Chain A
Amino acid sequence: MDLIVVKNLVKQFGDFTAVNGINFSVKQGESFGLLGPNGAGKSSTMRIIGATSERTSGEVTILGKDPQKFGPQIRAHLGVVPQQDNLDEELTCAENLYIYGRYFGLPKATVRNKLDELLEFAHLLDKKNSKVKSLSGGMKRRLTIARALVSDPDILMLDEPTTGLDPQARHILWDRLFRLKEKGVTLLITTHHMDEAEQLCDRLMVMDKGEIMAEGSPAELIKKYSTKEVLEVRFGSDRNSQMVEKLQSFAERLEELPDRLLLYTESGEDLLAKIVAANVHPNTSLVRRSSLEDVFLRLTGRSLIE
């Protein structure tokens, strides 16, 4: 069953078109990602699906209903993690979870019984009675996610869940989200971190300037839009562009970035050997597997984080 169906969705703010006629659907239990740079239209799409923003045109069905007509009924099934934490800073962790459960109309006793489990999940049990303003960024983020789970949502929507967190905090969060996925919660995630998308998403779409550039599983996208491996070579910033012409014929595809050249190939080591044999000696070289970043670069000619 498709929990989310979006057809020809358009969202305009005055003259600016944030979302320009996109189509996609998300099945129950699926983990679906919207990947794209800032301003790609991800958050606008999320807010329309979250039944808090009106669309300009197109059709949207969430759990079989139109979010514009059944906002509160649909939102009763959603757990939303916004891009910016909007916790009540003066209240404690427990109070924040409690009032959020009350907003859904859950009985007081029901919410109270859930508090410890949610705090445990967020790794914040020892902060139960601490005010939110005393928490670190990673703690606030985990509390926001725990808060979104208080109503046992059918769909959990996360807008840039780990942006601004340190690597350790990100891995804890990914682990938590992975557990939810295992429980069958449908996840809808926006991100501009390709590693996050690869970790968490069964399927994703790459967005840029309000349009869908490509859609598929991370592996499918990499297979379709990139080669198996990438050879990264650096010649120093002055010489990088001089080497482009020389190396063009060696690789299936070549991308020039300000600090390095990316050579797309099936085998990075073989390619490096060939280059060296042709008497080209880069300052440094690195062979890696293709990632979604390469897919994005191929599709848009730009890198994700600029």
Chain B
Amino acid sequence: MRTKTAERKVSQTGFRYVVEVRVLNMVKWTRIIIFVAIANPILYLLSIGIGVGSLIDSKDGLGGVEYLTFLAPALLATAAIQGMLDEVIFPTFEGFKWVKNFFAMNSTSLTGSDIAGGVFVAALLRTTFTVVIYWIALYFFGALDSPTAGLAIPAAIFAGASFGALIMALAARAKNEDVFMLITGRLIVMPMFLFSGTFYPLDLMPTFLQWIGWISPLWHATDLGRFLTYGHQISTTTLVFHLIYMFALLIVGLYFAFSNYSKRLAK
């Protein structure tokens, strides 16, 4: 017979348990995750990097840098952003609507912030894995040409994290998943991929379109990545600005992700 109800300890780092279940779920897809991580860079590097590259390199349009080298940091950051989006959008839809497992988590001592934090950290783990594999592929294709090239890995993950946090915050508010996917995929991610100085320097773009690059974390990460992988010249101010911009986006995104998760759970 129970007679007393002693105080129970509540973990202040409950997000760890959400990371645990997300990883347990990812492990079920290990083979697919590894296959995608390897196939994706190889396909891109073969088709655009080498194919398009041979066309461009013959005309020497990028000031002495091989096209593959120029493109590599942009592809790396794109892979980070895409990986991050997959791992924040689908678990968010699943958790709030498809399976409603966030409500199960929230009926334990876990809070909305724990759940958001856990989903985010797990997404970062998966993204780190993807980016490292991508980087190794770039290395073998000879697309890296600087002792600081290793730092392109955290730079790409940084871009994925800052953009992922923002999309996670929006996904937590989405009522219709199809519309949400359509808007983020077609109207945000696709233009960002095309207009962030990914395939050619941003200044070649008409001025009235350059703003897309300036607000795009992909451009900031790509410019930073070019500096790190082949010594593309940027001023210290630009360097600092890239870092501050992505950091600010990350903080704002996480703030709204945490609060939107909590609000939707309490509805």
Closest CB-CB distance, A153 to chain B, in whole Å?
10
Q: Is A176 an interface residue (CB 8 A)?
A: no
Interface stretch (choices A95-103, A245-253, A277-285): A95-103
Partner of B107, one of A29, A54, A75, A90: A75
Interface residues of B in 23-68 (CB under 8 A from A): 24-25, 28
> Is the Cβ of B107 less than 8 Å from the Cβ of A91?
no
Which A residues are in CB contact (< 8 Å) with B107? 50, 52, 75, 78, 80, 82
A86/B2 contact (C-beta < 8 A), A76-B109, A99-B17, A105-B10 known? no
Closest CB-CB distance, B224 to chain A, in whole Å?
37
Which of the listed residues B8, B11, B28, B107 has the most CB atoms from chain A within 10 Å of its own CB? B107
Q: Is A89 an interface residue (CB 8 A)?
A: yes
Residue of A nearest to B103 (CB): A86
Q: Is B106 an interface residue (CB 8 A)?
A: yes
> Is the Cβ of A105 less than 8 Å from the Cβ of B17?
yes
Q: Is B145 an interface residue (CB 8 A)?
A: no
Which B residues are in CB contact (< 8 Å) with A3? 5
Closest CB-CB distance, A188 to chain B, in whole Å?
13
Q: Is B235 an interface residue (CB 8 A)?
A: no
Which A residues are in CB contact (< 8 Å) with B110? 72, 103
Count how many chain A residues have C-beta atoms less than 8 Å from C-beta atoms of the other chain.
37
Consensus secondary structure, chain A interface: loop
Partner of B109, one of A72, A90, A99, A185: A72
Q: Is B20 an interface residue (CB 8 A)?
A: yes
> Is the Cβ of B2 less than 8 Å from the Cβ of A100?
no
Interface residues of A in 66-109 (CB under 8 A from B): 71-73, 75-78, 80, 82, 84, 86-91, 95, 99-100, 102-105
Q: Is B105 an interface residue (CB 8 A)?
A: yes
Residue of A nearest to B2 (CB): A184
A103/B105 contact (C-beta < 8 A), A89-B99, A91-B24, A184-B1 known? yes
Residue of A nearest to B17 (CB): A102
Q: How many A-B residue pairs have CB under 8 A?
A: 96
Which B residues are in CB contact (< 8 Å) with A99? 17, 20-21, 24
> Is the Cβ of A100 less than 8 Å from the Cβ of B111?
no
> Is the Cβ of A72 less than 8 Å from the Cβ of B103?
no
Q: Is B104 an interface residue (CB 8 A)?
A: yes
Q: Is A63 an interface residue (CB 8 A)?
A: yes
> Is the Cβ of A103 less than 8 Å from the Cβ of B25?
no
Interface residues of A in 199-236 (CB under 8 A from B): none
* A77 CA to B109 CA, complexed, in Å: 9
Q: Is B154 an interface residue (CB 8 A)?
A: no
> Is the Cβ of A73 less than 8 Å from the Cβ of B8?
yes
Residue of A nearest to B25 (CB): A90
Partner of B10, one of A29, A76, A86, A154: A76
> Is the Cβ of B10 less than 8 Å from the Cβ of A185?
no
* A76 CA to B108 CA, complexed, in Å: 6
Which A residues are in CB contact (< 8 Å) with B100? 82, 84, 86
Q: Is A151 an interface residue (CB 8 A)?
A: yes
* A147 CA to B25 CA, complexed, in Å: 18
> Is the Cβ of B8 less than 8 Å from the Cβ of A77?
yes
> Is the Cβ of A54 less than 8 Å from the Cβ of B266?
yes
> Is the Cβ of B28 less than 8 Å from the Cβ of A103?
no
Interface pairs A-B: 3 shortest CB-CB: A80-B107, A103-B108, A105-B11
- 20 extra A-B contacts, CB within 8 A, seeds A77-B8, A99-B21, A183-B2: A3-B5, A53-B267, A72-B111, A73-B7, A76-B8, A76-B9, A76-B109, A80-B107, A86-B101, A86-B104, A88-B99, A90-B25, A91-B28, A99-B20, A100-B104, A103-B109, A104-B109, A105-B10, A151-B108, A184-B1
23 sampled A-B residue pairs with Cβ under 8 A:
A29-B1, A29-B2, A52-B103, A53-B266, A54-B266, A72-B14, A72-B109, A72-B111, A73-B7, A73-B8, A76-B10, A76-B109, A77-B5, A77-B8, A80-B107, A87-B99, A87-B104, A90-B25, A91-B21, A103-B18, A103-B108, A105-B17, A183-B2
